[in-house]
Amino acid sequence: MSGRSWWSVGLIGFFLLTLVSATVAQNATPTLTVATEDSPLIIQGRLDGQTSSFSGNVRLTVTGSDAAALLLLASDLAHDSQPAWQIDRSSVSIPAGINLSDGQPQDMRVTINNAHHPGVYTGALKFMLPGQTEAEALVIPLELRLNAVPKVVPLMPALSWQVANCNSWLDCRLATMFLPESVVQDVWDVWLDNQTPQAVEVSDRVAILQGAANGRTTQPNQVMIAVPHTLPANQPAPIPVTINRQQLAPDSYQGTLRFTIEGATEPLSIPTTLAVRQGPLWALVVVLLGILLGRLVRDMETPIAQTQVRLIPEYLRLRAAADGLKEAEDRVDALAQLAAFKQRLDRGKETEDVLSSDLTAIEARIQFYASLEALAADLPAGLKDRLAPQFMEARRAVRDGRQQDAERCYTEIESAIKAATEDQLLGSGKRREAFERQLGALQASVKGLATAVSVRTTSIGLRLLARLSGIRLNADVRFWIVRPIISLVLLVLLVLWGMQALYVNAGTTFGAAGVYDYTALLLWGLTADVVSRSLSNMPTRLDKG
């Protein structure tokens, strides 16, 4: 074959090859694929009250030929919990006039409109090339996840709590008696209103409370807030707050409870005041002590108390003199007389004049005993033995209250001593003058031996006769019944009044000032005689009718 023939054959073969390739290319079917990371297509967004359109990109690649157009068939988007919040398929769109080049990946923007409710929406996207049927379409699952901007507000714009730092059962029991029962409550609720149409997570919290008096800030173990905590959608819910009252010093703590809300642009802050007061047990004790001290002061101003204060020194002086008596019987008698006088003085039922008169009589008796002892000690042995019966009889007469016999014995002793003096048996000069002084002292003591008049209350028989005769003798009733009842009632009223004025009303942080708070209660009780002043005017003696 010639060269011309070979050239003709090659030209014809090239023509046939080109024709076959063109035919194959015209009959090839293009293929549409999606990037693995974009299936399913997940679009996330946040509802802020203004935005209702949300978009995401899906990466598509066409192979086999170029694509001059791209068709989208979207399904309705169903809400995961609220069927009524379904998004219609017409709200899902892609840009128009899309051209895809063979083998070139291209991001396709998918936009969803009319999305107004938070939650998870699910559906499907079907992408088709020109000439393809729906069965040949590329199906991509679609998820739309919408979160709403949290809107959480406190039901109470400010919190104010009052608690009592009581460490014992009795202290806490008294706290619930004087104060609301909530003061011993350990767990309090902070109510937050979640106005978001979906649940909101409270992820963190902090309590910043500083004491006004001590300047100390509460520690995390003193005010504890239960987080994390989930707030249900569209309703208020409490967050428990535990207050360790026993670990907080009395004070007024002021500051903020701060909550971190997931998705919120700013934390939620609630102004808070926490008033911690000391338990009422010691306050009650101090008030009672103050009232009792006040009554003691008033009692010291009464005539009975003043009488006792004036006569006690004389009693002690005579007690010392009685202890100095050498004769045992004289000493026992004198001490018995003083003991009986002391009982009458303690009862406070007799006037100062009567008691002073009796004390003078006892003093005369002690002086008589002492004068007899002194005189007998200086007498010569013979004269002393001869006058021993008169000395003994004189002592007996005094102990028995026989004034005339005592005076007779004194007269006999005096006559014997004077006779001995005239006979020069007792010497002369200073010794004689000493005997005369002793006789004078003995004579003075004899004159003071008048028996004291005892004051006795009316007998039961006379009281009964007086009542039958129409005379009202109410001293016993007033003293034993009316006065104790009124005294007890006034004591209770004064305690309640003081606790109300200085602890309940004015003491939300009682104990923060330490001893000064208790001093105020003590002084109040000491001077609280406005109501109790009537106690001083009540009859205190049975013989007052």
Which position has the higher pLDDT, 480 or 285? Answer: 285
Report the SS3 class of residue 417.
helix
Which position has the higher pLDDT, 325 or 196? Answer: 196
The model's pLDDT over 42-69, given as tens digits with 9 standing for 90+, comes to 999 888 778 889 999 999 999 988 888 8
- What pLDDT is attached to residue 174? 87
Using an 8 Å Cβ cutoff, are 286 and 525 in contact? yes
H or E segment to which residue 26 belongs: helix 3-27
Give 77's DSSP letter: B
- What pLDDT is attached to residue 474? 36
Using pLDDT thresholds of 50, 70 and 90, give the confidence band for residue 443: low
Q: How far apart are the first and last CA of the chain?
A: 172
One DSSP character per residue, 266-316 reads S-EEEEEEEEEEE-HHHHHHHHHHHHHHHHHHHHHTSHHHHHHHHHHHHHH
- What pLDDT is attached to residue 473? 34
Report the SS3 class of residue 532.
helix
Distance in angstroms (rounded) separating the CA atoms of residues 344 and 167: 47
- What pLDDT is attached to residue 57? 93
Using pLDDT thresholds of 50, 70 and 90, give the confidence band for residue 357: confident
State the average pLDDT over residues 83-112.
90
* CB-count burial class (<10 Å; 0-12, 13-18, 19+) for 112: buried
- What pLDDT is attached to residue 161? 92
The model's pLDDT over 331-346, given as tens digits with 9 standing for 90+, comes to 887 888 888 888 888 7
State the average pLDDT over residues 170-176.
88
For residue 396, is pLDDT > 60? yes
Using an 8 Å Cβ cutoff, are 306 and 312 in contact? no
Q: For 210-239, give the secondary structure using H, E and C.
A: EECCCCCECCCCCEEECCCEEECCCEEEEE
State the average pLDDT over residues 423-444.
56
> Do the domains spanning 31-148 and 152-278 agree at the CATH topology level?
yes
State the average pLDDT over residues 466-483.
42
In this structure, of 189-198, 199-208, 258-267, 371-380, the range with the lowest mean pLDDT score is: 371-380
Task: Tell me which residue of 303, 342, 300 sits closest to 319, measured CA to CA.
Answer: 342
- What pLDDT is attached to residue 477? 40
Task: Tell me which residue of 426, 392, 390 sits closest to 410, measured CA to CA.
Answer: 390
- What pLDDT is attached to residue 538? 46
Using pLDDT thresholds of 50, 70 and 90, give the confidence band for residue 368: confident
Report the SS3 class of residue 115.
coil
- What pLDDT is attached to residue 58? 92
Using pLDDT thresholds of 50, 70 and 90, give the confidence band for residue 238: very high
**Max alpha carbon distance in the chain (Å)?**
213
Domains of the chain: which residue ranges?
A: 31-148, 152-278, 305-447
State the average pLDDT over residues 211-229.
90
Helix locations, 387-482, DSSP H: 388-400, 403-422, 430-447, 460-468, 475-477
Using pLDDT thresholds of 50, 70 and 90, give the confidence band for residue 467: very low
- What pLDDT is attached to residue 535? 46
pTM: 0.57
> Under CATH, domain 31-148 is a member of which superfamily?
Immunoglobulins (2.60.40.10)
- What pLDDT is attached to residue 453? 37
Choose which CATH entry (3.50.50.60, 3.30.420.10, 3.40.50.300, 2.60.40.10) describes domain 152-278.
2.60.40.10
Of the spans 143-157, 386-400, 473-487, which averages the highest pLDDT?
Answer: 143-157
In this structure, of 200-209, 318-327, 445-454, 491-500, the range with the lowest mean pLDDT score is: 445-454
- What pLDDT is attached to residue 449? 64
Q: Using only C-alpha atoms, what is the Rg of the chain? A: 57
In this structure, of 7-16, 208-217, 391-400, 404-413, the range with the lowest mean pLDDT score is: 7-16
Question: What Cα–Cα distance (Å) separates residue 483 from each residue in 242, 299, 494?
Answer: 50, 15, 16
Distance in angstroms (rounded) separating the CA atoms of residues 170 and 283: 13
- What pLDDT is attached to residue 431? 54
- What pLDDT is attached to residue 532? 57
- What pLDDT is attached to residue 156? 93
- What pLDDT is attached to residue 421? 61
For the chain, the average pLDDT equals 77
Using an 8 Å Cβ cutoff, are 80 and 144 in contact? no
- What pLDDT is attached to residue 13? 63
For residue 436, is pLDDT > 80? no
Q: Token match 């104990």: residue?
A: 511
- What pLDDT is attached to residue 230? 92
